[in-house]
Amino acid sequence: MLQVQERLKSLKSLVCEIETERKRIEPNINNMIRLTKMASEDKSPALNHKLKTLYKIGLQDALQEETLIRQALSKIQDIRNIRNERRIQARNAGNKETIRRGALMKMLQISAQTLPLFVSKPGEKIPHLCGSIPADTSYIAKPGDMVAALVKSEEGEENWILAEVVQYVSLTSKYEVDDIDEEQKDRHVLSRRRIVPLPLMRANPETDRQALFPKGTTVMALYPQTTCFYKAIINQLPQTANEEYEVLFEDPTYPDGFSPPLFVAQRYPQQQHTQSISHGSAMVNAAANSGIASSYASPNVAGTNTATITSHTFSAQSVHTKEEPFTDNFHQDDSF
């Protein structure tokens, strides 16, 4: 607790410093705007010289503010890492908290939306596990990391599911992972080729667009409100750091073979792999056994064979309404 408190104090100090810095540079910004408007009519050398001087000062002010913001974000990440370590320690001690399905879905969404944002400096190389940049071939996921895991069900079907790393056993070169779905409580021992580490950072579309999947790319993406990955195509890219991908899930129940557009956070589309990917109707698989088929599936779903439906769907009991807020038993821990 002391570690977190110390970092919170430092964070508060940095936030205050950022606010002070912004108030200090505001007059200079206003002057730049005013003189820039004047320069459209007044082409005098004196005005241009003054404007250049203000721009140089503004550039230095912006760099100073950027430094402070990066320091504050670093403190936030430190706090998240500490909380995550404590969560893992509690789990290893047998004190894992049971989280209701609706709260889990919300937590996973918040976790994806609040991943650290990578904003490159001029000439800086985009690191592995940022946006669409895959992990290095020698990378070993750490305990607590989120991964896509290819697992086999009791019926013999293989599906990519969302899982959390428990440990990597170097002696056998295998991972132990827990199904993130609390209702399953399954632990799997899998080889490295059946594990795909998920991004540790979001890419900034405005500065690092090359770290996003191009439009038309075939991926495996986490279907909304489930913990399973299905084959999909990137339809639209995020335009800002807070936006999500628009994807089309493969679904033969539609005339063109794809679902209507759905939004998926940057963390959850992954490169298509040669191992099994959940095919068929993603919407049927995700919704037909959940009581929400009318919301997600096409009108002709009723006659569809649902034998391939996995147990990782959003159950009808967990559909939250205004009378049943998702905040129950949910402590807003975004450590996933």
Higher pLDDT, 182 or 163: 163
Place of tokens 């996921």: 141
Cβ 250 vs Cβ 279: under 8 Å: yes
Separation of CA 221 from chain center? 12
CA 124/CA 105 separation, integer angstroms: 35
- Report, as an integer, the average pLDDT of 29-38: 91
Global pTM exceeds 0.85: no
With a cut of 60, say whether residue 331 has pLDDT above it.
no
What is the rounded distance in angstroms from the CA atom of residue 313 to the CA atom of residue 224?
10
Q: Which of 96-105, 163-172, 300-309 has the highest mean pLDDT?
A: 163-172
Tokens at 60, concatenated: 């230095």
Q: Is the CB of residue 204 less than 8 Å from the CB of residue 184? A: no
Q: Across-strand partners of 147?
A: 163, 197
pLDDT of res. 158: 93
147 within 8 A of 165, measured Cβ to Cβ: yes
pLDDT at 304: 34
For the stretch 291-296, contacts whose Cβ atoms lie closer than 8 Å and that sit 24 or more positions apart, written own/partner, are: 291/315, 291/316, 291/319, 292/316, 292/319
| C-alpha–C-alpha distance, residues 41 and 43, integer Å | 6
Q: Of 148, 175, 159, nearest to 312 (Cα)? A: 159
Mean pLDDT of 9-31: 94
Q: How confident is the model at residue 153 (pLDDT cuts 50, 70, 90)?
A: confident
Torsion sign across C-alpha atoms 278, 279, 283, 287? negative
Place 328 in a pLDDT band, splitting at 50, 70 and 90. very low
Q: What's the pLDDT score for residue 164?
A: 94
Do strands 262-264 and 245-249 pair parallel, antiparallel, or not at all (unpaired)? antiparallel
How many angstroms separate the Cα of 336 from the Cα of each of 60, 65, 72, 101, 293?
37, 29, 20, 15, 28
246, 235 Cβ separation under 8 angstroms: yes
Angle made by CA atoms 34, 38, 41, in degrees to the nearest 5: 165
User: How much is the mean pLDDT over the chain?
Assistant: 82
Lowest-confidence pick of 218-232, 255-269, 289-303? 289-303
Confidence band for 258, pLDDT divided at 50, 70 and 90 = very high
Residue pLDDT, tens place only, 221-243: 999 999 999 999 999 999 999 99
91-100, 135-144, 169-178, 208-217: which has the minimum mean pLDDT? 91-100
Tens of pLDDT, residues 69-95: 999 989 998 998 888 888 778 877 777
Residue with tokens 């990066």: 70
Q: What is the pLDDT of residue 277?
A: 58
Residue the block writes with tokens 């910004």: 29
307 or 221, higher pLDDT: 221
Residue 189 has what pLDDT? 96
Bigger pLDDT: 184 vs 176: 176
Query: Poorest-confidence range of 92-101, 172-181, 264-273?
Result: 92-101
Q: Point out the least confidently predicted range of 28-32, 151-155, 159-163.
A: 151-155
Per-residue confidence band for 197, with pLDDT thresholds at 50, 70 and 90: very high
